[in-house]
Structure 1
Amino acid sequence: MRFAYSVKQKMKIAVLLFCIMACTILIRFLEDKSVKSMNKSFVSLYNDRLIPATDLFYIAEYVDQKRSLVEEVFYSSTTQTFNEADLKQKLDRINVSIDSLIKDYEKTFLVKQEKLKITELKAWLAGHNRIEDRLLNAASVQGLEKARMMYQTFGRNAPGEIIQKLSELMRIQRQVGEELTKDTAFMVSGNKIYSSFQLVLAILIGILIVGIVFTSNVVKISNDKFNLN
């Protein structure tokens, strides 16, 4: 009778151990999934937020460089010293760099709001380039004085509008980055919970092992007594 009872108890313990093993495997699976998600978030934070934000900063610098070049030439040159080809070459070189940064930015993951803002930014950049062409043409054909008047009328504010669009994109970058950080923090807290569960399961396994050993000893002692009798 005691032997049958012992077998029954061992079966219960075996079932519990199996359940614990299944839970351990499940927790391990969830941990691996969480780690992969965290890694994906960190990579996205770097490739889709940090690097593009740096690119936006460089675009702003290039726009300011173009403004400085135009103002330096328009307000420090005379009709005799004005070199349209040289200024055009410098502006075109900067425009190529800006276009390259924009293309790199568009290759990253963009939320819906970013897609709208980048479209607006490209339109403003294209409009600014047309304004520069008109100013250069006016300076070459009508003289620097006419070009200066045109610049005061509609050319001076264009870089500021572009900087404003860049600021809006940077603001979106910050918001999305904060969301990614919150998601990562949530996943880290989830991993802590998984670790706590694993600790509890390890304790249960220890208790069950002690129970098995104790049960085996009881059975052995009972059998010894039976043999003595």
Structure 2
Amino acid sequence: MKFAFSLKNKLKIAFLLFCIMCCTLLIRFLEDKSVNKINESFISMYNDRLVPATDLYFVAENLYHKNTILQDALVNNESHSSNNQLQIKKHNQKIDSVINKYELTLLVKQEKAFLKDLKVALNIQEQLESKILALTGNERKQIYESIGKSATAQTLTKLSALIKIQSKVGDELIRDSKIFVSGTKIYSTFQGILAVFIGIMIVSIISASNMVKIQNDKFNLN
């Protein structure tokens, strides 16, 4: 009878320890998953937000240089603008290179729409630049003043919208990271609770074993 009772208790304890082991493994799995998510968020923050934002400012720099070349051509009223066209072409190539690189990053839906608008604006501006440089005198100035300036301003507006969205998406990544960090803290707390519970169980088992031993010794003495 005592043997059956002892075996039944041992099975209960073994089952309880098995459940605790499963919980510990599950918590460990969830914790590792949270850490991986945090790591992915920071990598995405750098590769898909910080680097592209820097590249977009590089686009703005090239747009500024192109506008400077156009204004110099208007002021000097150059009749031969092949050098200016060559310089602008180089800046266009640099801009295209950055845009192609940017398209390879992770883009949200709004980013894709803004990028599409920017590419259209850049294309319109390039056509106008070629047209303006191909003209001379007052006709060149008229085209620049009537539609050239507005095209440049439109391109900068589209570019500014695309740059601003970088910080917005970055904030979302930071919020996600905070959630994953909170989850990791909760998992660590559960692990601590399980460790304390296991310690209490070990002490209880040892105490129960000592009690049984003392009772057996008394029984044998009698």
**Residue 203 of structure 2 is aligned to residue 206 of structure 1:** no
How far residue 44 of structure 1 moved from its aligned partner, in angstroms, is 1.1
On the 8 A contact 1:45/1:180 being kept in 2, the answer is: yes
Match of 2:9 in 1: 9
How far residue 2 of structure 1 moved from its aligned partner, in angstroms, is 5.1
Match of 1:90 in 2: 87
On the 8 A contact 2:73/2:81 being kept in 1, the answer is: no
Root mean square deviation, CA, Å: 1.5
Distance 1:78 1:24 in 2: 78
Give the alignment partner of residue 111 of structure 1, picking from 108, 113, 127.
Answer: 108
More off after superposition, 29-38 vs 200-209: 29-38
On the 8 A contact 1:6/1:215 being kept in 2, the answer is: no
* Paired residue total: 222
Consecutive unaligned residues of structure 2, counting only runs of 5 or more, are none
Distance 1:78 1:173 in 2: 40
How far residue 46 of structure 1 moved from its aligned partner, in angstroms, is 1.1
Percent of aligned pairs with the same amino acid: 48
> TM-score, length-normalised on structure 2?
0.94
Match of 1:132 in 2: 129
Q: Which has the higher contact order (CA 8 A, sep 6+)?
A: 1
Match of 2:138 in 1: 145
Match of 1:157 in 2: 150
Distance 2:77 2:144 in 1: 16
How far residue 78 of structure 1 moved from its aligned partner, in angstroms, is 4.3
How far residue 58 of structure 1 moved from its aligned partner, in angstroms, is 1.0
Measured against aligned partners, the alpha-carbon deviations of 1:150-207 in whole angstroms (never above 9, x if no partner) come to 2111112222111100111122222211111111100000000000000000000000
On the 8 A contact 1:118/1:169 being kept in 2, the answer is: yes
Measured against aligned partners, the alpha-carbon deviations of 1:30-78 in whole angstroms (never above 9, x if no partner) come to 0111111111111111111111111111111111111011102211x24
Distance 1:78 1:53 in 2: 36
**Residue 21 of structure 2 is aligned to residue 21 of structure 1:** yes
